[in-house]
Amino acid sequence: MQHRFFRVCLFLLALFMVLPLAIASPAYAATDAYVTRYLRVTEPVPLALDEQGKTRLFPADEFAAGKQLFERNCLNCHVGGATLPDPTVSLSLADLQGATPRRDTVSSLVAYLRQPMTYNGTEETFWCRQIPESWLSQAQIESLAGFVLRAAQTAPGWGGALFPEK
């Protein structure tokens, strides 16, 4: 009898340990609350691919995937879209637009991430994290860039909230 009670307890314990993992798993990425609430994406939204006005539709689950890549690989330095090692070069839309060349399209962001450059575009920079193709595929890096761009366009406080004195 005691033995069975022990087994039920173990089962419940395991259940409560596994539940949060299941909720956070990628299978649920499509319902990411940040994406619906702060990126305001439920239906696919168009993002500029290049300066010529070409666009592509990004669905909610792609933003969720991009957000996960961002959290895993960029958040340490870019929490909330700020740039901790250099707050003057944040991921806000204004800063992305002010760079040379501008970094406010998916392809220009991808180009930057494949080879980060200084803000005036004259030299390579070693401060940001370079993403070779062997690490993130074209599709993955576009999801990441799409997330950054949409966050810069719509997420409240993105890129500046931490440094109001900027």
Residues that bind ligand HEC (CB under 6 A): 73-74, 76-78, 83, 85-86, 89-91, 95-96, 99, 103, 109, 112-113, 118-119, 125, 127-129, 131, 144, 148
Of 7 and 102, the one with the shorter C-beta distance to ligand HEC is 102
Shortest reach from residue 138's CB to ligand HEC, in Å: 15
Of 6 and 127, the one with the shorter C-beta distance to ligand HEC is 127
Shortest reach from residue 61's CB to ligand HEC, in Å: 19
Strand partners for 117? 124
CA distance 104 to 120: 15
CA distance 90 to 109: 13
From its phi and psi, is residue 90 left (phi > 0), alpha (psi between -120 and 50) or beta?
beta
Of 96 and 106, the one with the shorter C-beta distance to ligand HEC is 96
How close are the terminal C-alpha atoms of the chain, in Å?
66
Shortest reach from residue 67's CB to ligand HEC, in Å: 11
